[in-house]
Amino acid sequence: MKQFKDTRQIECFKQQNLFPTAREQPANKSISVYRVCLVKDASISFGSVRLNNSQQAQALIQKLILTKGQPDREQFVVALLNSKNEFIGVNIVAVGTLSAAPVHPREALKPAILGNSAAIILCHNHPSNDLEPSAEDLAITKKIIRAAEIIGIQVHEHIIINMENDRYYSLADQGIIKNIYDEIS
């Protein structure tokens, strides 16, 4: 085994051995080829396709969770919008437990990228019907906005909805979304 004096030598050795020579490579190595696509699972009927306010988004996403989801668990949904703020589609990104639906920015942005979205609306339900955003809700909103900003997707809203009636909490209406964008600019 080769002895190294410091970590720089180890890193240099790792870099040098990153690409093995032809005699070190196995003869029959194959590489997977992937096709990336967005698949339409179903449709839900909804009046207007153009977004005018957070209440319309809340109604659409509540209907999605009630018809295609599991309203007794927290679910994180992304609504996809084109450049005219018309709905392209919706995706249930994560289904969690009674009090959490862990999500990572890559999962939230994946349907937006595949759907060629110009903007998105984030939404999740609180089965407890307490609409106040948690520290985790605010943290994931900030992470997703930062990641979306890099790839050119606008996050218009993050709504927390009640599944028993039409009550909701809009982070955009409360100025939280704007504050996050101001922070990262």
Lowest-confidence pick of 7-11, 37-41, 160-164: 7-11
* 117: confidence class by pLDDT, cuts 50, 70, 90: very high
What does the alpha-carbon distance between residue 90 and residue 41 come to, in Å, rounded to a whole number? 10
Average pLDDT of the residues of the chain: 87
Question: Which carries the bigger pLDDT value, residue 10 or residue 97?
Answer: 97
Alpha carbon separation from 130 to 125, 163, 164, 169 (Å, rounded): 9, 11, 11, 10
What does the alpha-carbon distance between residue 154 and residue 81 come to, in Å, rounded to a whole number? 9
- So where are the chain's domains? 54-184
DSSP letters for 31-45: ---------------
What does the alpha-carbon distance between residue 141 and residue 87 come to, in Å, rounded to a whole number? 20
Overall fold of domain 54-184: Cytidine Deaminase; domain 2 (3.40.140)
Span 159-173, average pLDDT = 95
Please tell me the predicted confidence (pLDDT) of residue 169. 97
User: For 46-89, how does the pLDDT look when each residue is reduced to its tens digit (9 = 90+)?
Assistant: 666 677 788 888 988 898 899 888 889 999 999 999 999 898 89
Please determine, for residue 19, whether its predicted confidence score (pLDDT) is greater than 70.
Answer: no
Please tell me the predicted confidence (pLDDT) of residue 44. 75
> Percent of the chain having pLDDT more than 90?
56
What does the alpha-carbon distance between residue 14 and residue 142 come to, in Å, rounded to a whole number? 36
Q: What is the DSSP letter of 59?
A: H
What does the alpha-carbon distance between residue 128 and residue 163 come to, in Å, rounded to a whole number? 9
Those residues whose C-beta lies under 8 Å from the C-beta of residue 85, and which sit 6 or more positions away, are 50, 51, 119, 156
Enter the pTM of the model: 0.80
Written as six digits, the tokens of 81 are 């919008």
Those residues whose C-beta lies under 8 Å from the C-beta of residue 89, and which sit 6 or more positions away, are 40, 79, 80, 111, 115
Please tell me the predicted confidence (pLDDT) of residue 11. 61
Please tell me the predicted confidence (pLDDT) of residue 57. 87
